[in-house]
Structure 1
Amino acid sequence: MIRKRTNDRSANRPQRSTLWQKCTNLRALKQAHAFMLVNGFNSNPSALREIIFASAVSISGTIDYAHRMFAHITEPDNFLWNTMIRGSAQSPNPLNAVSLYTQMENRDVKPDNFTFPFLLKACTKLSWAKMGCGIHGRVVKFGFQSNTFVRNTLIYFHANCGDLSVARMLFDGSAKMDVVPWSALTAGYARRGELGLARQLFDDMPVKDLVSWNVMITGYVKQREMESARKLFYEVPKRDVVTWNAMIAGYVLCGSNEQALQMFEEMRSVGERPDEVTMLSLLSACADFGDLEVGQKIHFSLLELCSGELSIVLGNALIDMYAKCGSIERALRVFQGMRDRDVSTWNSIIGGLAFHGHAEESIKMFMKMRRLKIRPTEITFVGVLVACSHAGKVEEGWGYFILMRNEYGIEPNIRHFGCMVDLLGRAGRLNEAFEFIDSMEIEPNGIIWRALLGACRIHGNVELARRANERLLKMRKDHSGDYVLLSNIYASRGEWDGVEKVRKLMDDTGVRKERGWSVIEADDRALMQFLFDSKPKGNFRNHVT
């Protein structure tokens, strides 16, 4: 056990030593931790504060390591508790912040005025209104509501997911010359889509700092009002990287990838240094745009920015970008060059290999993942099932479909069912595919029926195609491709009466065929997009204190 002395009053906050300043990734952190253990600093309160602060707050992607270390500290002080709650609140899993506070209460450790703001931020990220209101009650109980930092965070919480009337009441009772509550309430109105009220507050602010400008710009961006965001952007007295990131991410969110890239070029031309958020947005744009050349330039810029050492998140984004731009070889090189990987890394490469038809390599990656005891997710199995479909491995696919539920407790969703229909359809087992759809535990969507209809076209099964088309038309009657596909199946079999019936049905329902539209290509592309495109567009950070 790591024992921490509690009688040292000299270190209320960690003084960042040269050793910890050099830690920029998990590998360097582990080396510094080993140095600390070997030299007997594991019982030094200041050293403990530094390593916990570094792993929980300063270094991206090392919060899990912080939790493992923290579990071995027998008597953490308030600073250590608050640091872990803070790091957990800003991590991808803010639920851990609430869990830590529960442990803190169970061990009769009294919270201070720094505990609650971090906890409230976690509740805001989780949209846990009831829990946040409970925390508000504890704030009042311990007498911290008059604390400026706590009050501002309460305003932000209530404005974003709590009670707006409470937020307004707290705001009206705050110091109106303090810009933070103005920004907090403005951000809350903006986040809830009430941009008129947000803009009114913004215009009424006695003093506007850069955070206020960024809050309002981000509010417009999240509502996809890019013209208003752009107008405000050019009015900002002095921009920072957050301002640029909001605009770049907004254009990506709206699908205006060329404008996002132009904004990046403008950003660099004025000497603003991009950060990880900038690059994630740009990589997303390149992936959507399919621009390999620009993607490679972004990669080179990344290597310069990170001195050759990529974070897990950036590595994953690069793998995704290269796979979507058609260069699975480069995606593999990025994967092989990553020192640290998470389950998303494996999912990206397994899915990328499967999408590009490298079924055997995709399945081998999955087997390696299992050997390394990395627990797969539902996305992993989408990639594996697509690989089995492309390789014609029906029985193996069935095995993975069963394994997903029986060994890992993952209930199949619409994507997994879509994979199985595609697998059976490609293999020509059309009746089995039809029966599988009928036995699905969830309602099949149009893409699943079209996958079966496409398989019927390939294998020339007119009767089953007609039945599948009937089911599809019950769901929707305005997609010309559904009619064209069935018409082509009849035509391929020389059944011209069937072709005529389909054309008459199109005329009766007022559907017109779209010109220059390949049914086969569009079906395959739609299915692959349906199976793989599950990630949200755009990258935003929370910049409001």
Structure 2
Amino acid sequence: MIRKKADKSSNRHQRSCLWQKCSSFRALKQIHGFMLVNGFNSKPSALRELIFASAIAISGTIDYAHQLFRQITEPDTFMWNTMIRGSSQSPNPSNAISLYTQMEDRRVQPDNFTFPFLLKACTRLSWVKMGNEIHGKIVKFGFESNTFVRNTLIHFHANCGDLKVASALFDGSAKRDVVAWSALTTGYARRGELGVARQLFDEMPVKDLVSWNVMITGYVKRGDMDSARKLFDEVPERDVVTWNTMIAGYVLCGSHEQALEMFEEMRCVGERPDEVTMLSLLSACADSGALDVGLKIHCSLLEMGSGDLSILLGNALIDMYAKCGSIERALEVFRRMREKDVSSWNSIVGGLAFHGHAEQSIHLFREMLRKKIRPNEITFVGVLVACSHAGMVEESHQYFDLMRIEYNIEPNIKHYGCMVDVLGRAGLLNEAFEFIDSMVIEPNAIVWRTLLGACRVHGNAELGKRANERLLAMRRDQSGDYVLLSNIYASLGEWDGVEKVRKLMDDSGVKKEPGCSLIEADNKELMNFLFDSKPKLNSKGKVL
């Protein structure tokens, strides 16, 4: 008898040690195999640990958890809750709702832990109707007074449900709970009602870090960096999210120097930057052309042990180096990346193309196709830019057709703009004009400006005047549009035409800005137009 008890104790200890070491999908499968061999697969306690590890403890194994769960004949409430919780946090939170439906069909009684996870799934999905139905079930089962359930209800209604309901739930005992204060404040801030959110924030008896970060984020999203900075300076204790919010805010409003100064301050106080920090900073360097700072950030990444760059960081580095003119370094980063996605290929194909390395750009595009990586609309922008720089008129038509016919990608304004640039650079101005007239979408000002620039290069005053007329019909306040036409007349010695353009500028009240380089402005405008495709991230790494 004593031997049996000792054996059971030993088995429990052995399982406990195994779960403590379970930190990867491979380890999870090995432990599952151990359970099958040793007969633990029928023990409820072992199954609970297995489901918890696969659904929650180990990242990226929720699909395996669903496979395991389907094989359990009679899962208990803990297992159902664990699966619902894991699903609510997964890329497919709707699975949490499906599991609850199955739970009801099998007449398994929910408890106070079931509903908060369902409400979190509804909040992530913005499923207001379903969330209201869950609220009804909470009332039916008598869980509305439970602190955990009530706070999640406030969070749901504040973020995507009914703010009046959230406020009603907040009245009473909830006012003594910092989590409830934070949930309601967050809801008002995220819905843009920053005045109400600030009033709640100021009245909070105890402010947690979540509330501080939410208010700072609210001001950042509104572009009010002065208010955000004032709150930032008052935060008793900051975390990496606080710093990232400020850095991202400065980047988004174009204050790149302040973003970089904030990063230096962050490091000086001993706060360790994360991937989101570095992505924001690389974006600032790309937008401001600060190659020297970008190099320092790259070195910092290597010092932080990021030798094997993530796809996001690798792509950001390629984008930064390409936009700062260091295409060789961009190519080196690309070649060293172990894993690449379509954005990686797009960044290098587009970067090479814009900097005049047309043959290399096309070569990489063909390599991309050989590797069976499906191009998207951004890929073809880069390819068409390469064709433009290399004067590959026939090839540009082939790639334009390949995009439409082979990959079923409808051309957008950028693709049409690239084709106009191809034809314009090649001197095929009549064909470019006909191409614009045949477009199935309305040409924008940049398309006409591209053709006007080509007319200036090739000295075609007649077509230049027609392009300028179309351009001025869209906008009349850009001095460069008038200067381009004036330069066409001047290059041909038609001084009457120059005088007419100057009079038109005077009549329109347009002044040419001193020191403006049209070539630089055109290049920057075109590059931003074609390649401004990288996502802006918030402090948690989500796309804004």
Equivalent residue, structure 1, for 2:311:
312
1:159 partnered with 2:162 = no
Structural mapping, 1:51-200, within 5 Å: 51-53=54-56, 58=59, 63=60, 67=63, 70=66, 74-75=70-71, 77-78=79-80, 81-82=83-84, 84-88=86-90, 94=91, 96-98=92-94, 101-102=97-98, 105=101, 108=105, 117=116, 120-121=119-120, 123-125=122-124, 127=126, 129=128, 132-133=131-132, 136=135, 145-172=144-171, 175-200=174-199
CA contact (8 A) 2:96 2:118 kept: no
Q: In 1, distance between residues paired with 2:326 and 2:476? A: 38
Equivalent residue, structure 1, for 2:53:
50
CA contact (8 A) 1:250 1:538 kept: no
Deviations 1:352-389 (A, max 9, x none): 22222222222232223233332322222222222222
CA contact (8 A) 2:349 2:379 kept: yes
Q: In 1, distance between residues paired with 2:132 and 2:521? A: 49
Q: In 2, distance between residues paired with 1:259 and 1:540? A: 16
> Residues 526 and 311 (structure 1 numbering): CA distance in 2 closer, same or farther, change over 3 Å?
same
3-state SS of the aligned residue for 2:450? helix
Q: In structure 1, what residue type is equivalent to 2:93?
A: A
Give the Å deviation of 1:81: 3.2
CA contact (8 A) 1:78 1:112 kept: no
> Residues 84 and 426 (structure 1 numbering): CA distance in 2 closer, same or farther, change over 3 Å?
farther
Q: In 2, distance between residues paired with 1:140 and 1:366? A: 58
Equivalent residue, structure 1, for 2:3:
none
Equivalent residue, structure 1, for 2:321:
322
> Residues 145 and 383 (structure 1 numbering): CA distance in 2 closer, same or farther, change over 3 Å?
farther
Give the Å deviation of 1:428: 2.1
> Residues 15 and 37 (structure 1 numbering): CA distance in 2 closer, same or farther, change over 3 Å?
closer
Give the Å deviation of 1:403: 2.6
Equivalent residue, structure 2, for 1:249:
248
Q: In structure 2, what residue type is equivalent to 1:510?
A: G
3-state SS of the aligned residue for 1:168? helix
Deviations 1:248-299 (A, max 9, x none): 1111111111111111111111111111221111111111121122112211
> Residues 144 and 417 (structure 1 numbering): CA distance in 2 closer, same or farther, change over 3 Å?
farther
Equivalent residue, structure 1, for 2:9:
none
Structural mapping, 1:458-497, within 5 Å: 458-497=457-496
CA contact (8 A) 2:429 2:454 kept: yes
Q: In structure 2, what residue type is equivalent to 1:78?
A: W
Q: In 2, distance between residues paired with 1:69 and 1:338? A: 31
Q: In structure 1, what residue type is equivalent to 2:363?
A: K
Q: In 2, distance between residues paired with 1:333 and 1:497? A: 53
CA contact (8 A) 2:278 2:297 kept: yes
The structure that is helix-richer by fraction is 2
Q: In 2, distance between residues paired with 1:15 and 1:149? A: 31
Task: Report the number of matched residues.
Answer: 513
1:447 partnered with 2:438 = no
Deviations 1:179-231 (A, max 9, x none): 12211221222222222111100011121111111111111111121111111
Q: In structure 2, what residue type is equivalent to 1:357?
A: G
CA contact (8 A) 1:49 1:79 kept: no
Equivalent residue, structure 1, for 2:343:
344
Give the Å deviation of 1:521: 2.4
3-state SS of the aligned residue for 1:176? helix
Equivalent residue, structure 2, for 1:26:
none
CA contact (8 A) 1:449 1:472 kept: yes
Q: In structure 2, what residue type is equivalent to 1:395?
A: E
CA contact (8 A) 1:449 1:469 kept: yes
CA contact (8 A) 1:424 1:432 kept: yes
Q: In structure 2, what residue type is equivalent to 1:313?
A: L
Give the Å deviation of 1:155: 2.6
Equivalent residue, structure 2, for 1:376:
375
Q: In structure 2, what residue type is equivalent to 1:358?
A: H
CA contact (8 A) 2:349 2:365 kept: yes
Q: In structure 2, what residue type is equivalent to 1:326?
A: G
CA contact (8 A) 1:351 1:383 kept: yes
> Residues 50 and 69 (structure 1 numbering): CA distance in 2 closer, same or farther, change over 3 Å?
closer
1:332 partnered with 2:328 = no
Structure showing greater radius of gyration is 2
C-alpha RMSD of matched pairs (Å): 3.2
CA contact (8 A) 2:80 2:99 kept: no
Equivalent residue, structure 2, for 1:219:
218
Equivalent residue, structure 2, for 1:91:
none
Q: In structure 1, what residue type is equivalent to 2:53?
A: E
Give % identity. 69
CA contact (8 A) 1:316 1:345 kept: yes
Equivalent residue, structure 2, for 1:281:
280
Q: In 2, distance between residues paired with 1:143 and 1:160? A: 23
Deviations 1:25-59 (A, max 9, x none): xxxx5x5567668878797844564345455xx4x
> Residues 39 and 179 (structure 1 numbering): CA distance in 2 closer, same or farther, change over 3 Å?
same
Equivalent residue, structure 1, for 2:501:
502
> Residues 521 and 87 (structure 1 numbering): CA distance in 2 closer, same or farther, change over 3 Å?
same
> Residues 148 and 306 (structure 1 numbering): CA distance in 2 closer, same or farther, change over 3 Å?
farther
Give the Å deviation of 1:133: 4.7
3-state SS of the aligned residue for 2:513? coil
> Residues 308 and 463 (structure 1 numbering): CA distance in 2 closer, same or farther, change over 3 Å?
same
Q: In 2, distance between residues paired with 1:411 and 1:131? A: 36
Equivalent residue, structure 2, for 1:426:
425
* TM-score, normalised with respect to structure 2: 0.84
CA contact (8 A) 2:89 2:121 kept: no
3-state SS of the aligned residue for 2:234? coil
Greater relative contact order (CA < 8 Å, ≥ 6 in sequence): 1
3-state SS of the aligned residue for 2:433? helix
Q: In 1, distance between residues paired with 2:208 and 2:372? A: 49
3-state SS of the aligned residue for 2:244? helix
CA contact (8 A) 2:276 2:541 kept: no
Give the Å deviation of 1:20: 4.3
CA contact (8 A) 2:65 2:83 kept: no
Give the Å deviation of 1:526: 0.4
Q: In structure 2, what residue type is equivalent to 1:464?
A: L
After the TM superposition, which of the residue ranges 335-344 and 445-454 deviates more from structure 2? 335-344
Equivalent residue, structure 2, for 1:6:
none
* TM-score, normalised with respect to structure 1: 0.84
Equivalent residue, structure 2, for 1:457:
456
Q: Gapped runs of 5+ residues in structure 1?
A: 1-9, 24-28, 89-93
Q: In 2, distance between residues paired with 1:310 and 1:278? A: 14
3-state SS of the aligned residue for 2:176? coil
After the TM superposition, which of the residue ranges 326-335 and 368-377 deviates more from structure 2? 368-377
3-state SS of the aligned residue for 2:511? coil
Q: In 1, distance between residues paired with 2:431 and 2:134? A: 54
3-state SS of the aligned residue for 2:174? coil
3-state SS of the aligned residue for 1:398? helix
Q: In 2, distance between residues paired with 1:267 and 1:134? A: 45
